[in-house]
Structure 1
Amino acid sequence: MPSRLAAVLWDMDGTLIDSEPIWIAQQFVLAEQHGGTWTTEQGLALVGADMHDTAVAMQAAGIEMEAAELVAAIERGVIDSLRDEVPWRPGVRELLADLVREGIPCAIATTSSHEMAALVAAAAPDGAISVVVGAEDVARTKPSPEPYLRAAELLGVRAEDCVAVEDSPNGLAAAIASGATTIAVPNDAVLPESGDFLLWPTLAGRTVEDLRDSLSG
């Protein structure tokens, strides 16, 4: 008999929304304004990283800003962009709506800010995302499993009864360590060739039944 799907735990950047190009664009803006050099490759290398790591990398590239100021400036630029338009990844809104119809709760677990994740949750289909865990909501961000464990706790379920959806190596490590069944949906980041996860090329056309099958498998 298939296992019960208690909830779906979602990464945000690059998984729910195609926001990585927005993050990298904001990094270039700060490089132009505050000195230093920056490349798309450097930006892609930071996909899924903690924002502190991004600040350190940009400072090392010669961008003369305090870490907290740098992080705040990048996040504010991304939030402003998302207020204009939320660039959903293929199949996401349809799958979220399907989950609502089936009464299966969802959470966002992200290394981005709670404010940004709450904005995305508000733009999702009504009732789709009931819990948000941002970087400031945990003591340790990904690759620690804490964001996913906290999301499951807030939903009142066991992580082992959940499916987590990710797009980055750090995120996959966090989701797998939490005990959730983990699905990798590739986007900009280079993913491991193999591991304790399922690989779905896209969420387009995927259904709740597919999620249930992944959990029971």
Structure 2
Amino acid sequence: MDGTLVDTEQYWMAAEVELVESFGGRWTHEDGLGLVGMGLWESARVFQAAGVDLDADTIVHRLTGRVKQQLVEQGVPWRPGARELLEALRTASVPTALVTMSIRSMADDVIAAIPFEAFDAIVTGDVVANPKPHPEPYLVAAAELGVDVRDCVAIEDSPAGLTSAWSAGAVTVGVPNFLALDEAPAHVLWPTLADKTVSDVAELLAVREGRA
């Protein structure tokens, strides 16, 4: 979600700087990049090591609250082509799932800004035992959709997300945002979702199955 559908990584990074600096520490852009795609509770341990003297749940609550506040103040910034492709998939009756390591309340705020019913399944970081890059999130999503994960196409913007989907068995599409994905386990890299269509997504499965 963050960085793939919506360009909220900037909100997260601003919240991270505020949090660490409130405890007298220093948080760089490179530090923030290191957390892209990571589960929130795993990220909390990184903040604790950086001097944030709070328990993990409180760190997650504070970060999420600050990002949600920015969403209210500044709106939901869509990645180019993301909303259009999602709407086209829904119009074509393609089952879709949101797999994000944000917590459910955060995901719900973003989903509420989508003017159509966007997802058949929602898997968030607070409902899985093992976050990305573990395959569990995508295996859970496929199970909730009632489909074989090998028949799924996963679109991700981070190495952790791509590793999760790849390990689960999905076809993986990397769409770079903040991080380079040249060495990530992606079947294909798209520079953007702009002008991508349902046919483009279907072709990825056809290629893997040897039908294209």
TM-score normalised by structure 1 residue count = 0.90
1:3 paired residue number: none
Amino acid of the residue matched to residue 113 of structure 1?
I
Alignment of 1:5-154 (within 5 A): 12-84=1-73, 85-154=75-144
Distance 1:143 1:124 in 2: 27
Structure 1 residue 194: Cα displacement: 5.7
Q: Please say which of residues 52-61 and 175-184 is displaced more in the overlay.
A: 52-61
Structure 1 residue 45: Cα displacement: 1.1
Distance 1:49 1:31 in 2: 17
Structure 1 residue 82: Cα displacement: 2.2
Instruction: Could you tell me which runs of 5 or more consecutive residues in structure 2 were left unpaired when the two chains were aligned.
Output: 208-212
Aligned equivalent of 2:168, options 164, 172, 178: 178
Amino acid of the residue matched to residue 14 of structure 2?
A
Q: Please say which of residues 147-156 and 64-73 is displaced more in the overlay.
A: 64-73
Q: Please say which of residues 203-212 and 151-160 is displaced more in the overlay.
A: 151-160
Distance 1:195 1:52 in 2: 24
Amino acid of the residue matched to residue 153 of structure 1?
A
Instruction: Could you tell me which runs of 5 or more consecutive residues in structure 1 were left unpaired when the two chains were aligned.
Output: 1-11
Specify the SS of the correspondent of 1:176: helix
Structure 1 residue 136: Cα displacement: 1.4
Tell me, yes or no, if structure 1 residue 214 matches structure 2 residue 166.
Answer: no
Tell me, yes or no, if structure 1 residue 167 matches structure 2 residue 157.
Answer: yes
Q: Structure 1 185/22 Cα, relative in aligned 2: closer, same or farther at 3 Å?
A: same
Distance 2:163 2:103 in 1: 20
Kept in 2: contact 1:105–1:128 (CA 8 A)? no
Cα deviation code 1:65-93 (max 9, x no counterpart): 22221111001111222234111100011
Cα deviation code 1:145-180 (max 9, x no counterpart): 111111111111111111100011111110001111
Cα deviation code 1:104-140 (max 9, x no counterpart): 1211111110111122222224122221111111111
Q: Structure 1 174/29 Cα, relative in aligned 2: closer, same or farther at 3 Å?
A: same
Specify the SS of the correspondent of 1:135: coil
Q: Structure 1 117/209 Cα, relative in aligned 2: closer, same or farther at 3 Å?
A: same
Structure 1 residue 16: Cα displacement: 0.7
Amino acid of the residue matched to residue 86 of structure 1?
V
Structure 1 residue 211: Cα displacement: 0.1
Structural RMSD (CA): 1.4
Distance 2:140 2:185 in 1: 23
Amino acid of the residue matched to residue 42 of structure 1?
D
Specify the SS of the correspondent of 1:193: coil
Specify the SS of the correspondent of 2:126: helix
Distance 1:158 1:97 in 2: 22
Structure 1 residue 141: Cα displacement: 0.9
Kept in 2: contact 1:97–1:125 (CA 8 A)? no
Distance 1:195 1:20 in 2: 21
Specify the SS of the correspondent of 2:22: helix
